[in-house]
Amino acid sequence: MSTLSIINQKGGVAKTTTAINVAHVWAKLGKRVLLVDLDPQASATKSIFGDQEFEHTSYDLVLNKVPAKNAIQKSEDFGFDVVPGDILLSGVDIQLSAQFGREKFLKKALGTVKSKYDDIVIDCSPTLGLLTVNALMASKDILIPICPEYFSLKGIELILGTLKNIKTGLGHTIGVKGIVITRYRNRKVIKSVIDEVEERYGLKVFKDFIPDNIVVEEAHHNHLPVSRYAPRSKAAKSYESLAKELNT
Ligand SMILES: Nc1ncnc2c1ncn2[C@@H]1O[C@H](COP(=O)(O)OP(=O)(O)OP(=O)(O)O)[C@@H](O)[C@H]1O
Ligand SMILES: [Mg+2]
């Protein structure tokens, strides 16, 4: 079993889109996948289930209120299980601030269900606060989506700095699977981004860029993965090859 967090403190770079579409392709390949929505905006949950409300969510897991199995929902359309997100997650940093071991509550909760899955994918919120630290402590690796138009080296440095702090402060080493270029429109912008990332940090940039395409937005509104909503689109094909490459 392996756990992958999709992180970037920059908002709107397609973390959620990447999390649910990679998880879907893995499920299609026959893997047993759990997606954890760890964002107070609950975008992944809304994309998958629409306006459904859930009694238990990832908030209960982070606060260790209920066993993880009680918060798991099945999605037939996506083919994987989901721990829904919750607006209450926005108060977690304060609620956990005085608790011993607060960085490992999610890891502890997921420990009780991990044997049921081949992969757990965590969709993080656009912050590097305690919630994301909980995701990182539960993860073996991270994947960083980057939108070339808003790219900043400082952003990458912040993420790498957080991984370093977790290693020195909490003794947990996290691998960086690489960077996925999302929502791209302009090849010239991409080339300069790739060169900078590879040269400065030696990070892998996946060769499957995800193009900016309206079908991605439409797939969210139709509560379907891109490869079911628009199977022949370039976006669907790119997510399929990215998921396969991540798998190897
Ligand atoms: N390849 C794409 N083509 C077109 N639109 C896209 C693409 N990828 C994502 N989007 C759209 O961009 C918006 C942001 O995407 P998404 O919610 O996945 O980003 P995020 O990084 O998870 O955002 P947040 O930081 O708020 O959690 C959404 O409206 C989504 O539909
Ligand atoms: Mg998101």
Please give the angle made by the CA atoms of 228, 80 and 246, to the nearest 5 degrees: 80
Ligand at minimal distance from the CA of 9 is 1
Q: Which of 119, 146, 123, 132 is nearest to 210 (CA)?
A: 146
Instruction: Please compute, for residue 143, the number of CA atoms within 13 A of its CA located in the half-sphere on the CB side.
Output: 28
**Would the CA dihedral through 223, 51, 124, 74 be positive or negative?**
negative
Instruction: Please compute, for residue 57, the number of CA atoms within 13 A of its CA located in the half-sphere on the CB side.
Output: 22
> What are 119's strand-pairing partners?
2, 33
Residue 15 pLDDT greater than 80, yes or no: yes
Domain range for 63: 2-247
> What's the distance, CA 194 to chain centroid?
21
Residue 169 pLDDT greater than 80, yes or no: yes
* Ligand 1, pocket-test mutation among 8, 9, 16, most atoms within 8 A of CB: 16
Instruction: Write the CATH number for 7.
Output: 3.40.50.300
Number of domains into which the chain is organized? 1
Confidence of residue 192 (pLDDT cuts 50, 70, 90): confident
- Please report, as a single letter, which amino acid is at residue 9: Q
Give the pLDDT of residue 64. 87
**Neighbour-count burial of 53, counting CB atoms closer than 10 A to its CB (0-12 exposed, 13-18 middle, 19+ buried):** exposed
Instruction: Please state which of the ranges 69-78, 110-119, 191-200, 239-248 shows the lowest mean pLDDT.
Output: 191-200
Ligand at minimal distance from the CA of 13 is 1
Helices (H), the chain: 15-28, 43-49, 58-62, 92-95, 105-111, 130-137, 153-170, 187-201, 214-221, 226-229, 234-247
Confidence of residue 49 (pLDDT cuts 50, 70, 90): very high
Residue 162 pLDDT greater than 90, yes or no: yes
The length of the chain in residues reads 248
* Greater pLDDT, 165 or 198: 165
Convert the pLDDT of each residue in 85-127 to its tens digit.
999 999 999 999 889 999 999 999 999 999 999 999 999 999 9
* Ligand 1, pocket-test mutation among 143, 216, 226, 227, most atoms within 8 A of CB: 216
Convert the pLDDT of each residue in 218-232 to its tens digit.
999 999 999 999 999
